[in-house]
């Protein structure tokens, strides 16, 4: 068989392909080619074409399958085994300090000083509690020429109980105070300057008080606050005073607003002997509204007052008063700065009880006082002599300031206020029948005050605080604001030295003052006419140091060093205070 003819075409094609392989390999790089153009040829370079839209995904028609799972119920045979355990106390917060039924604090000091404070209460319960307290303080006379003992005793019994939503508080207290009238001691000393016993005045008081206050859970309900007080005061100079006070406050919340109405009644009956008695009464009614809108707090009201003191009944003083009441404050940056402004006024009753709280040497032998008024017919100033206390009319009272707290360790308060006090009582030391006491001098006094105070806590050991006030006075009749200073400041520092031991130092400064007296032979005096002398009271600085040591939760000790500079300054003209004094004692809780 001859196969050669059939392979000839194939062989020919293979030979042609093999001969053309070099030319095909040479076409991969056109830059190495020589190109010859025959005829006219024009070359063009076209601009690049940019797509006007982005590619978009093509939606697929495939749907996501939904898978459903079913729980197969399988019952397990479980038999619980109960194992009893002992009771366990869970402590969520730290335990409260233990409440002791009572405590006693006693001490002894120089100048024959004795001190005792004691208190006993039952343990508090949901229903109520009761307690009693005792107080004793005695020391020698500050004067070297007029000797004697100053004494202060007191006892109190109180109780508190809840009756439904009503809380009832009741207390009864008794006090006995012996005051030495050693003022202007050089007047009564003989030429040999021998010491003699100082005359004294003893005061006794008995007072009972009941307080009712509702605590309704419904904030929109009408809540009340009722306070009743009856008191009796007497001294060894036949002075007597009976006091009755009643106060009722009603308030009701209306959303963010609160309506309030307050009524206060004060009735005093007093005398300096058993023959003549004088009665005075004051009634005050104050409706007001209080609101809060975010950081803004505001209140507005009107106080109506009726005065029935002795001068008002003799057509000398005014008997009806109106005092606008307003207050606004703005809390900025969460108590960082709180500016505020206030407008107000009040009618203040003067009595033996209130005046003795200001001046302990006030024990007048006469309640005679002088009043002035203009006679419309003669256009002259009339001088009237009256008996009885006169109420003080505080009017045109304006106050403004800013207070705040910075980082919980620094607090501050800057303030300015002004007010006018009509029939303000200024005390005058007088010598009557070999006894130095104080009598009342009434005048209209304008008082302006500018001041500030601050407190700083440094770590866990230091706490520093202080304040300063500048005062100015304007008077209608008197030459000076007797016994009132123009500059006062105070400072205090507390240091926790070691665990249980705390040291405290404080200082107070009172600027120069003046007193009005009827004697010229005591202190720096200047005659001002009409048998009166102006007595200069120098400025003074009072420094004190106290150490408190707590041995444990029940027992501790304390030491006080008072008046370190031994300054014989006088708060009230002619009656200097004690000099340096040391007092130490212990306290125990049971």
400: pLDDT confidence band, cut at 50, 70 and 90? very high
What percent of the chain has a predicted confidence (pLDDT) above 70?
81
Element of type H or E holding 110: none
> How far apart (Å, rounded) are the C-alpha atoms in residues 407 and 456?
10
164: pLDDT confidence band, cut at 50, 70 and 90? confident
Q: What is the mean pLDDT of residues 442-471?
A: 95
> Which segments within 97-219 are labelled E, that is strand?
102-109, 113-121, 128-140, 146-147, 149-163, 166-180, 196-197, 200-214
> How far apart (Å, rounded) are the C-alpha atoms in residues 530 and 41?
139
Q: What is the mean pLDDT of the chain?
A: 84
73: pLDDT confidence band, cut at 50, 70 and 90? low
pLDDT of residue 373: 57
pLDDT of residue 482: 93
pLDDT at 82 over 60: yes
pLDDT at 10 over 50: no
Q: What is the mean pLDDT of residues 501-509?
A: 96
pLDDT of residue 297: 96
* Confidence (pTM): 0.78
Q: What is the DSSP letter of 395?
A: E
pLDDT of residue 34: 64
pLDDT of residue 45: 65
Cβ atoms of 422 and 305 within 8 Å: the answer is no
Cβ atoms of 394 and 348 within 8 Å: the answer is yes
pLDDT at 311 over 90: no
pLDDT of residue 456: 96
174 bridge partner residues:
155, 206
């Amino acid at each position: 068989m001859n196969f050669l003819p059939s392979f000839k075409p194939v062989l020919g094609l293979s030979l042609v392909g093999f001969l053309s392989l070099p030319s095909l390999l040479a076409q991969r790089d056109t830059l190495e080619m020589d190109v010859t153009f025959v005829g006219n040829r024009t070359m063009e370079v076209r601009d690049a074409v940019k797509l006007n839209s982005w590619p978009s995904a093509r939606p697929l028609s495939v749907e996501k399958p939904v898978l459903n799972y079913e729980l197969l119920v399988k019952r397990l045979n479980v038999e619980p085994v109960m194992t009893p355990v002992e009771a366990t106390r869970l402590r969520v917060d730290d335990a409260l300090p233990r409440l002791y039924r009572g405590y006693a604090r006693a001490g002894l000091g120089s100048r024959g000083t004795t001190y005792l404070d004691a208190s006993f209460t039952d343990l508090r319960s949901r229903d109520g509690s009761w307690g009693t307290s005792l107080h004793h303080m005695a020391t020698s006379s500050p004067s070297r020429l007029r000797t004697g003992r100053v004494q202060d005793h007191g006892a109190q019994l109180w109780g508190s109980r809840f009756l439904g939503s009503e809380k009832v508080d009741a207390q009864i207290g008794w006090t006995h105070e012996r005051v030495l009238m050693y003022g202007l001691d050089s007047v009564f000393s003989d030429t040999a300057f021998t010491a003699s016993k100082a005359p004294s005045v003893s005061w006794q008081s008995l007072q009972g008080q009941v307080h009712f206050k509702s605590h309704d859970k419904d904030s929109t309900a009408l809540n009340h606050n009722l306070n009743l007080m009856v008191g009796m005061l007497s001294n060894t100079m036949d002075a007597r005073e009976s006091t009755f006070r009643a106060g009722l406050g009603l308030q009701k919340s209306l959303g963010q607003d609160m309506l309030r109405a307050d009524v206060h009644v004060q009735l005093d009956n007093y005398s300096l002997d058993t023959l003549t008695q004088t009665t005075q009464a004051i009634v005050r009614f104050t409706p007001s509204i209080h609101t809060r809108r975010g950081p803004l707090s505001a209140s507005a009201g009107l106080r109506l007052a009726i005065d029935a003191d002795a001068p008002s009944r003799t057509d000398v003083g005014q008997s009806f008063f109106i005092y606008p009441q307003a207050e606004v404050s703005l809390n900025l940056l969460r108590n960082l700065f709180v500016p505020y402004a206030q407008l107000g006024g009040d009618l203040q009753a003067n009595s033996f009880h209130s005046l003795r709280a200001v001046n302990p040497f006030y024990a007048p032998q006469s309640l005679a006082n002088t009043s002035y008024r203009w006679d419309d017919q003669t256009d002259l100033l009339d001088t009237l002599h009256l008996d009885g206390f006169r109420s003080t009319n505080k009017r045109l009272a304006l106050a403004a300031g800013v207070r705040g707290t910075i980082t919980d360790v620094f607090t501050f308060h800057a303030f300015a206020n002004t007010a006018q006090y009509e029939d303000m009582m200024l005390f005058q030391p007088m010598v009557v029948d070999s006894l130095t006491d104080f009598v009342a001098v009434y005048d209209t006094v304008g008082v302006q005050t500018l001041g500030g105070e601050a407190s700083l806590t440094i770590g866990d050991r230091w706490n520093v605080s202080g304040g300063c006030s500048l005062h100015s006075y304007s008077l209608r009749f008197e030459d000076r604001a007797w016994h009132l200073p123009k500059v006062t400041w105070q400072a205090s520092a507390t240091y926790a030295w070691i665990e249980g031991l705390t040291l405290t130092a404080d200082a107070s400064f009172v600027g120069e003052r003046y007193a009005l007296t009827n004697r010229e032979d005591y202190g720096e005096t200047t005659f001002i006419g009409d048998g009166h002398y102006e007595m200069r009271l120098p400025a003074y600085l009072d420094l004190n140091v106290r150490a408190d040591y707590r041995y444990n939760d029940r027992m501790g000790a304390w030491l006080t060093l008072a008046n370190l500079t031994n300054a014989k300054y006088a708060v009230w003209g002619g009656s200097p205070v004690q000099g340096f004094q040391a007092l130490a004692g212990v306290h125990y809780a049971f």
